[in-house]
A and B are shown apart, each in its own frame.
Chain A
Amino acid sequence: GNSVTQMEGPVTLSEEAFLTINCTYTATGYPSLFWYVQYPGEGLQLLLKATKADDKGSNKGFEATYRKETTSFHLEKGSVQVSDSAVYFCALKEGGSEKLVFGKGTKLTVNP
C-alpha cells in the first residue's frame, strides 16, 4: 500500500538556521505530494505541493522537489524563523483516490 516516511523529530534549530525535513514515499502509481503544516492549537493547512516528477513546490520560503528516482520530497528552508515552529506533515495522494496519506509528522522548534 501507499505510505509516507518522515524523519523522526523533534527538530530544534536556532533562528536563521537551514532546515531540512526528509520525506520518502512508497506508491504504486504516480502520486501528488504535499507538505502540510500544523501550528500549535490549529488544524493542518497546506504549505506546498507538487503533482509530477521534478516539480518544485514553494511557499513562505519553504521548498520541496518531487524526486521520482529517489521517491523523495524533502522540505527545505534557508533561514527559519521562530514563527515556523510547528509540526510538518508530508503526504501523498494517488490519482483517482480521495485518500490523503500522511507521514507521522515532524515537530520543529525554532529558538530565538
Chain B
Amino acid sequence: DTAVSQTPKYLVTQMGNDKSIKCEQNLGHDTMYWYKQDSKKFLKIMFSYNNKELIINETVPNRFSPKSPDKAHLNLHINSLELGDSAVYFCASSRGQTSNTGELFFGEGSRLTVL
C-alpha cells in the first residue's frame, strides 16, 4: 500500500490550460503539504493544511489553489498554466502540529510540463 499517492504522475499540457493534481495519504496524518521542485532540484514549500485548515501559504500566485476535502486528501488546482509552472510537484504528509517531529512522508511526485 502506497502511503502517499499522487495522480497523475506525468502531465503534459498547453499554456493557458487548467489542471489538477490529486494527493491522498493513508498514514492517518493530520498535516499535508505541497512542495514544488524546479529543474535544479530546488524544493520549495507552497502550501500546508492541518485537518483541512490552511496553515502555510507561501508567496505563490493565486492561480494555484489547494483544496482539502478531508484530512487524508490535498489537491492542487492550477489555473492559466504558464511555462514557468513546469516542475515536479510533491505532496507530503506528517503527524499533527503537536507531535510533528519534522519527518515528512513524500509521494513520488507529479511531473508537470507546460508547452
Interface 1/0 per residue, A34-46 and B, CB below 8 Å: 1010100111111
CB distance A98 to B109 under 8 Å?
Answer: no
CB distance B43 to A99 under 8 Å?
Answer: no
Knowing A44-B90, A105-B42 touch, does A49 contact B103 (C-beta < 8 A)? Answer: yes
Give every chain A residue within 8 A of B42 (Cβ-Cβ).
Answer: 102, 104-105
Whether, in the assembled complex, A58 has its beta carbon less than 8 Å from a beta carbon of chain B, the answer is no
Give every chain B residue within 8 A of A73 (Cβ-Cβ).
Answer: none
Give every chain B residue within 8 A of A107 (Cβ-Cβ).
Answer: 41
Give every chain A residue within 8 A of B75 (Cβ-Cβ).
Answer: none
CB distance B102 to A93 under 8 Å?
Answer: yes
Interchain CA distance A101-B103 in the complex, whole Å: 12
Number of interface residues of B (CB under 8 A): 26
Q: Which of A47-93 contact B (CB under 8 A)?
A: 49, 51, 87, 89, 91, 93
Q: Which residue in B48, B92, B104, B108 is a CB contact (below 8 Å) of A42? A: B108
Q: Which residue in B4, B50, B105 is a CB contact (below 8 Å) of A98? A: B50
Interchain CA distance A32-B109 in the complex, whole Å: 25
Contacts A44-B43, A99-B48, A100-B102 aside, 7 further interface pairs with beta carbons under 8 A come to A42-B108, A45-B105, A46-B104, A93-B100, A98-B55, A100-B104, A105-B43
* A residues neighboring B (CB under 8 Å): 32, 34, 36, 38, 41-46, 49, 51, 87, 89, 91, 93, 98-102, 104-105, 107
